[in-house]
Amino acid sequence: MTNVRYQASRFVAVLAFYALPTTAEAQRPVTLAEAYRLASTQSLDLEIARRNHERADALVTQSWSALKPSVVGTGTYTLRDEATTRTFPGPTPTTITITPRDSFGASLVVTQPLVEPAAWLGIPNAQDSREAAALDVEAARQQIVLLTARTYWSVVTARRVLEVNRQLEGVANANLRAAQARLEAGTGLAIDVTRAQIDVQVAQRQIAMASAAQADAQEALGLVLGISEPIDAVDPGDQPPAVPGVDAAASDSRPDVRSAAVQQGVADRAVDAAWWSLAPTLDAQWIGTWTDSVGAFGRETQWQIVGTLTVPFYDGGYRYGVIAQREAEAAQARVVADRLSRQARNELSSARRAVETQRVAVETAMRQVDLARQALAQAQAAYEAGASTNLEVIQAQQSVRDAEVTLAIGRADWQIAVVRLLVASGHAPGPRP
């Protein structure tokens, strides 16, 4: 009995986690496959991961730009306080305008990096970061699938619990009518009628609570699916879930584990890039200019080619500080990747045990339901024969309800455990983004 109450309270706690006040009616029920599809296309968490992948893709373009030519054009207009002129003496003095009072000019600067070691390493880093972001999208989808499964089965379980309570309300009303008939016939006791009336009230209270739990679960399912209305779930029936064969090393293929490994490589390469920032860089520039102010030299256009070698001698220790920072980040990335790998293996092992545990729990709950129903039939037969009071009948009814609720919760937990196993092995159901 204690375990039953614990199971029931755990189920209520799960529903309370997703509970939201609602007065709206649930929309048409969706299948589990439809729920996976809707969650994968409309989840806000998954949308955030997709936007992060787009950002990483843009960073790849930025990294390539560090090695490509840059072309910058400028245009100028200059107004001076007065023109600069010079008069040359002679038989016929000649005045030449050195600088006119106003003038227009333009320039075009083409810069081509020739030697940029740090930029060379930036390209594979950006590409790996994009790969890690894509893996993060899949990791986010798998967690959303698990959340969807839990919420979906909460709706199914809430409906099953509600049906159990409604069936037992019918039994309680039948017992009340039987107790009243026996009292009127002089073969029953008034206390039996009172007990039966209390049992009917308890059944009605349980129906009200189960109805509220179902509405809350439907509201939560709509929220998970990205829909602002309560959504009902199609009951898949009592078919046992198909348990996949999972290798012990399957956790290494999980997208979050693979993403951490890729990010570790990015962090290691960032250390190399920081060291290469101490190396000289070489750029070439072509500079072309035009002006409408010919002046004394008589040239409107001119161009030049400039090669620039930059050697970083001293910058106050900034680059060495960056190197130390990158090395610390690389060490941290290695620890994170190792921890996540170990955690994934533990989660896979735990998920495999949970599937087997829930299978045994469901088989035990099914036998418990059969025994509880037998006990109820025996108690009713003894009561009708006058060999006992209806107290035994009421207790048997409660045992049936507890057993039915335990079975409903156990079946849902078994289904969720299988999805958890799939997620732990990196093979969550549902469409991939």
pLDDT 10s digits, 101-147 = 888 999 999 999 999 998 999 999 999 999 999 999 999 999 999 99
pLDDT 10s digits, 277-295 = 999 999 999 999 998 876 6
pLDDT value, residue 195: 86
Domain ranges of the chain: 2-66+120-269+341-424
Q: Quick one: which of 235, 191, 134 has its CA closest to 388?
A: 191
> Which residues does the chain have with pLDDT short of 50?
1-23
Structure pTM? 0.76
pLDDT value, residue 241: 86
* Amino acid type, 10: R
Residue 339, Cβ neighbours under 10 Å: how many?
A: 11
The three-state (H, E, C) secondary structure of 186-242, written as one string: CCCCHHHHHHHHHHHHHHHHHHHHHHHHHHHHHHHHHHHCCCCCCEEECCCCCCCCC
The three-state (H, E, C) secondary structure of 283-324, written as one string: EEEEEEEEECCCCCCCCCEEEEEEEEEECCCCCCCHHHHHHH
Among all chains, which residue has been given the structure tokens 């009951």? 235
Superfamily of 2-66+120-269+341-424 according to CATH: Outer membrane efflux proteins (OEP) (1.20.1600.10)
pLDDT value, residue 217: 94
Q: Quick one: which of 168, 169, 172 has its CA closest to 192?
A: 172
pLDDT value, residue 68: 93
Q: Which two tokens stand for residue 40?
A: 């994968």
